[in-house]
DNA sequence: TCACGTTCCCAAAACGCTTTGGACGGGCGA
DNA sequence: TCGCCCGTCCAAAGCGTTTTGGGAACGTGA
């Protein structure tokens, strides 16, 4: 095992009290003594035992993330890894541990209760909120500080969240396509139980309405966001009697599927047909360069992770700072995948 | 706060000792008493405080994962999320917590030492081993149980690992292409500092040698596995004086890039040109259906996560069960992306 | 009746830290 | 010189568990 506070104190001829205070920056310890303690600690590679420390202080110094993995659709959200990377960075810098719990999605409530009762975490981040998500009320009732990545409509009580402006994004993207003369615009969305997908559809519908276009149910799809889903959506829609001239995709993965579907039909993006996607800036799917492949509404999910973590740490430190909210705007980047409608 | 053992004991008119023993299944407690205690515990939603428990037992009941995030190439391995999902499942089922630590890649050694010194974990899983990875020796010296996901050549001392048979996989894939008459086969590999990439190249070279083909450096690339990397590799190689007739890709993402590069040149996979990729069975990039899009060497990284977790838990429970190793074979699935060489 | 096991329970120590409530001198002003 | 405060340190009591080392009550066999 490693060296303990008591051992360190003994080796210095000091009491544990003094050593503790010296290392934690309390004023009532002689500067010379402090220096001596700090050097000895560094030399002995002393690190206070996390569990003992948090038992004594009552703070867990850890943040929990619960990831539900449904047994039906076994999708692990690809966005998750980058979000975690961002958040983890901030936790580490602030001396917090990140604990992940993978649970079957019917055991999520139990997972939160358990984390709370065992005192394993000081707060949690809620992932993938649905349109009317009961988890928010449950967490509020539990009294565990939490922050939602996204939002959930239909919950009236205020809560803390960080979200991107999904509605505005897709409104703007749709508008952009309309300005190019497109009137047959397809929406290839994520599952609409998810709050973000619902908001995106609202943005899309709003822009259509503003342009005097009647939405066509044949041009709207929702499903788990995989590559083949995008492929099939593109192939099938393009064969409609009155096919779309533009596509709005909910993620890069789906957009790649759409691209493949369209080029299999001999269509070239930007010339024959337009595609706009949302781009989370996943590191292995960079959409940059002089002219990005896709025109996209862009927002770094990594940065979202960082901000979410900072907000939650603040909530933990000062619980009475009230619900914190942040709405991140996306940018519309011009790529090679859009152009005027082909007549 | 939640209810403590002492409170529970008091409310039952028992001593903490007895309650503890009752709940932990010790024999020296009356069956009736045990029943009473269990009911009271369930009613009060009692869960033992993790930190107190592990302080008393000396076991952290947690496994650590350290993910290095380099500041230069900020790639979060997409494979990571699915591996974690698999491992997390097993941890949860066994009452272990998963703790993640995101560190700048020059701080990785420090992170392990820190986790060890603070006693935060009972073991760690080492991700993304390089060809000659010093971390293995460091962990061995630390005395913290660990398991490597992958292997590292050039480390002589035995250690525990779980890997897929990369060399055999790529040997077989190359062979498969040779059997179709291909002699100009390109390898679009991951960074060869990574051990898996090095092994794949060995498999590829071995098969070429067996077929009497001299490897061409112009047909071998290595880089971070992004979609644009695959795209560029395909486009540039296809314009060589003596272009490849087949591609071997190190991941689905890269394969999609290659596909896009080739179809931009008007080439059709399986007919004009062949592509084989390694498929980790990431949930959002399913390569299935009646005829999968890509011919692939396939192995579920999610399952790898589950197995790795089980192995590590075993190592933690019985440290003297010696280094554990497991080599998973991949399967070669036939897709639509390969065919005889076009003459 | 007595010695001796069982059965069932408990008091107290321990895990490694923080924090409370002093203790002990030395310097200062009066 | 005395009294007081301040700077510096420490002993001991927690935090919520587990675990060690009994101990009382109740048979049981001789």
Burial class (CB within 10 angstroms; exposed 0-12, middle 13-18, buried 19+) of B314: middle
Q: pLDDT over 70 for what percent of chain A?
A: 98
- Nearest CB partner across the interface for A76, out of B45, B225, B283: B283
Residues A128 and A33 in one domain: no
Pairing relationship of beta strands B97-104 and A97-104 according to DSSP bridges: antiparallel
Tokens read off for A199: 């908001």
- Taking CA–CA distances from A293, the nearest residue in chain B reads B228
Which chain C nucleotides are covered by protein, judged by CB under 7 A? 7-12, 14-22
pLDDT-wise least confident of A284-298, B79-93, B103-117, B146-160: B103-117
Strand positions, DSSP E, chain A: 62-69, 97-104, 123-126, 146-149, 161-164, 185-189, 220-222, 246-249, 274-279, 295-298, 325-328, 331-333
Instruction: Identify the residues numbered 34 to 53 in chain A whose C-beta atom is closer than 7 Å to any atom of strand C.
Output: 46, 48-49, 52-53
Number of domains in chain B: 3
DSSP alpha helices (H): ranges in A94-180? 108-117, 134-142, 166-179
Residues B127 and B243 in one domain: no
Task: Determine, yes or no, domain membership for A56.
Answer: no
Task: Determine, yes or no, domain membership for A269.
Answer: yes
| Mean pLDDT to the nearest integer, B61-88 | 85
Query: The CATH number of the domain where A138 resides is what?
Result: 3.40.50.2300
Task: Determine, yes or no, domain membership for A101.
Answer: yes
Tokens read off for A312: 């939650």
Q: Is residue A71 scored above 80 in pLDDT?
A: no
Task: Determine, yes or no, domain membership for B210.
Answer: yes
Residues B132 and B246 in one domain: no
- Whether CB of B4 is under 7 Å from strand D: the answer is yes
Element holding B206 (H helix, E strand): helix B195-210
Task: Determine, yes or no, domain membership for B342.
Answer: no
Task: Determine, yes or no, domain membership for A54.
Answer: no
- Whether CB of B57 is under 7 Å from strand D: the answer is yes
Nucleotide nearest to B4 (CA to C1'): D16
Q: How far apart are CA A200 and CA A35, in angstroms?
A: 57
- Exposure on the CB side of residue A54, measured as CA atoms within 13 A: 24
Task: Determine, yes or no, domain membership for A215.
Answer: yes
Residues A233 and A248 in one domain: yes
Alpha carbon of residue A87 to chain centroid: 9
Q: Is residue A238 scored above 70 in pLDDT?
A: yes
Residues A158 and A92 in one domain: yes
Residues of the domain holding B13: 5-48
Residue range A11-23, pLDDT digits in tens: 999 999 999 999 9
Tokens read off for B222: 């290595």
| Mean pLDDT to the nearest integer, A213-218 | 98
Tokens read off for B120: 């935060």
Residues A67 and A175 in one domain: no
Query: The CATH number of the domain where A22 resides is what?
Result: 1.10.260.40
Residues A123 and A22 in one domain: no
Largest interatomic CA distance in chain A: 88
Residues B19 and B89 in one domain: no
Q: Is residue B33 scored above 80 in pLDDT?
A: yes
Residue range A165-200, pLDDT digits in tens: 999 999 999 999 999 999 999 999 999 999 999 999
The whole-number pLDDT of residue A155 equals 85
Residue range A13-63, pLDDT digits in tens: 999 999 999 999 998 899 999 999 999 999 999 999 999 999 999 999 999
Residues A159 and A308 in one domain: yes
- Nearest CB partner across the interface for A92, out of B102, B118, B263: B102
Measured in angstroms, the CA of B130 and the nearest CA of chain A are apart by: 19
Q: Which pLDDT band holds residue B73 (cuts at 50, 70, 90)?
A: low
Q: If you measure CA to C1', which residue is closest to nucleotide D9?
A: A18
Q: In the structure, how far is the CA atom of residue A62 from the C1' atom of nucleotide C15, in angstroms? A: 21
Task: Determine, yes or no, domain membership for B55.
Answer: no
Residues B210 and B136 in one domain: no
The whole-number pLDDT of residue A72 equals 59
- Nearest CB partner across the interface for A98, out of B48, B91, B101: B101
Residues B172 and B159 in one domain: no
For B46-108, the DSSP string reads: ----HHHHHHHHS---EEEEEEEE-SSS-PPPHHHHHHHHHHHHHHHHTT-EEEEEEEEGGGH
Q: How far apart are CA A125 and CA A139, in angstroms?
A: 10
The whole-number pLDDT of residue A73 equals 60
Residues B150 and B203 in one domain: no
């Amino acid at each position: 095992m490693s060296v303990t506070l008591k051992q360190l104190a003994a080796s210095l001829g000091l009491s544990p009290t003094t050593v503790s205070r010296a290392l934690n920056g309390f004023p009532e310890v002689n500067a010379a003594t402090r220096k001596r303690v700090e050097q000895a600690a560094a030399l002995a590679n002393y690190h206070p035992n996390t569990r003992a420390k948090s038992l004594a202080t009552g703070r867990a110094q850890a943040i929990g993330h619960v990831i539900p993995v449904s047994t039906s659709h076994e999708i692990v959200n690809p966005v998750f890894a980058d979000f975690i990377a961002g958040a983890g960075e901030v936790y580490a810098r602030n001396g917090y541990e990140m604990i992940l719990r993978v649970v079957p999605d019917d055991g999520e409530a139990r997972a939160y209760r358990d984390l709370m009762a065992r005192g394993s975490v000081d707060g949690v981040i809620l992932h993938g909120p649905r349109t009317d998500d009961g988890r928010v009320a449950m967490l509020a009732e539990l009294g565990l500080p939490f922050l939602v990545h996204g939002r959930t409509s239909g919950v009236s009580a205020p809560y803390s969240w960080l979200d991107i402006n999904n509605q505005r994004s897709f409104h703007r993207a749709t508008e952009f396509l309309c300005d190019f003369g497109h009137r047959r615009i397809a929406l290839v969305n994520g599952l609409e139980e998810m709050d973000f997908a619902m908001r995106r559809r609202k943005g899309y519908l709003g822009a259509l309405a503003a342009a005097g276009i009647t939405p066509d149910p044949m041009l709207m799809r929702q499903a788990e966001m995989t590559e083949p889903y995008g492929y099939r959506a593109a192939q099938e829609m393009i064969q409609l009697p009155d096919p779309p001239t533009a596509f709005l995709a909910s993620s890069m993965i789906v957009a790649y599927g759409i691209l493949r579907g369209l080029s299999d039909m001999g269509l070239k993006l930007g010339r024959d047909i337009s595609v706009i996607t949302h781009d989370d800036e996943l590191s292995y799917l960079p959409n940059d360069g002089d002219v990005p492949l896709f025109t996209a509404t862009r927002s770094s999910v990594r940065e979202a992770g960082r901000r979410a973590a900072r907000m939650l740490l603040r909530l933990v430190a000062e619980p009475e700072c009230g619900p914190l909210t942040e709405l991140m705007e996306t940018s519309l980047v011009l790529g090679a995948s859009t152009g005027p409608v082909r007549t």
